[in-house]
Copies of this chain bind each other. A is one copy, B any other.
Amino acid sequence: MSEQHIASAFDRDLEAVQAHIMKMGGLVEAAITGAARSLETRDEELAQQVRQGDKAIDALEDLINEETARVIALRAPTAGDLRLVLSVLKVSANLERIGDYAKNIAKRTTILVEANQIGGSTAALRRMAREVERMLRDALDAYIQRDAELARDVIDRDQEVDQMYNGLFRELLTFMAEDPRNITACMHLHFIAKNIERMGDHVTAIAEQVIYLVTGERPTEARPKADNTSQSL
């Protein structure tokens, strides 16, 4: 019997925890999509579902935290194995934050239903959200398959999200300047855009974890930044 086919108790435990990460990831992907769609189609019921759904995401994070602690206590992993287990905590914390942002977007949707449409902004926000949702899916695939190349690709794509955000920021400024009655709606839309841009940052953090796990190197310094609205008035 080859050694590769004998899974250790630690490996089995780790796989069980990672299965929960994938489940959590699936819920978060659905929350992103739902939040963006509810905004574009003004679907209050869907927005309400997204808000409710965040509880299941939070519960999974708690479960993952407990299971991780149990694996550490039971198997006392060291070196690379310990790094793997601790990475689970980082990934689940990032997923929880992304879920929170989706919930916050859904909250604003409930209000924006009453407001005037601001150009094509909700469609642009949905495109941004779709890109982040795809990045998340790839980051989690890269995590499970320990695929540093795919993880690097995800990090690169975050620049596109940043560019979409910067374009939308300028567009919203114009709409506000044109008509003061647009200001409040634009402030909420800007808030949503910023939340999606931050989701991208958390997906990037997951991808960086993957690179760290595979190569032992932290790619943080090389990360291209980001929201450049801070560079001009």
Q: Could you say which residues of chain B place their CB within 8 Å of the CB of A69? A: 82-83, 86
Say if the beta carbon of A33 comes within 8 Å of chain B.
Answer: no
In the bound complex, CA of A115 to CA of B180 (Å)? 20
Say if the beta carbon of A171 comes within 8 Å of chain B.
Answer: no
Interface size on A, residues (CB 8 A): 45
Are B188 and A191 in contact (CB-based, < 8 A)? no
Stretch of A16-24, A104-112, A152-160 at the chain-chain interface: A104-112
**With A72-B72, A78-B73 known to touch, is A114 a contact of B233 (CB < 8 Å)?**
yes
Within 8 A of B (CB), among A108-128: 108, 110-112, 114-115
User: Is chain A's binding surface mostly helix, strand, loop or mixed?
Assistant: helix
Q: Could you say which residues of chain B place their CB within 8 Å of the CB of A164? A: none
- A–B Cβ pairs within 8 angstroms, 28 of them: A62-B218, A65-B86, A68-B86, A69-B86, A73-B76, A73-B82, A86-B89, A89-B89, A104-B230, A108-B230, A110-B230, A111-B231, A111-B233, A112-B233, A114-B233, A115-B233, A173-B184, A173-B187, A176-B180, A176-B183, A177-B183, A183-B183, A185-B233, A187-B187, A188-B233, A190-B190, A191-B194, A194-B194
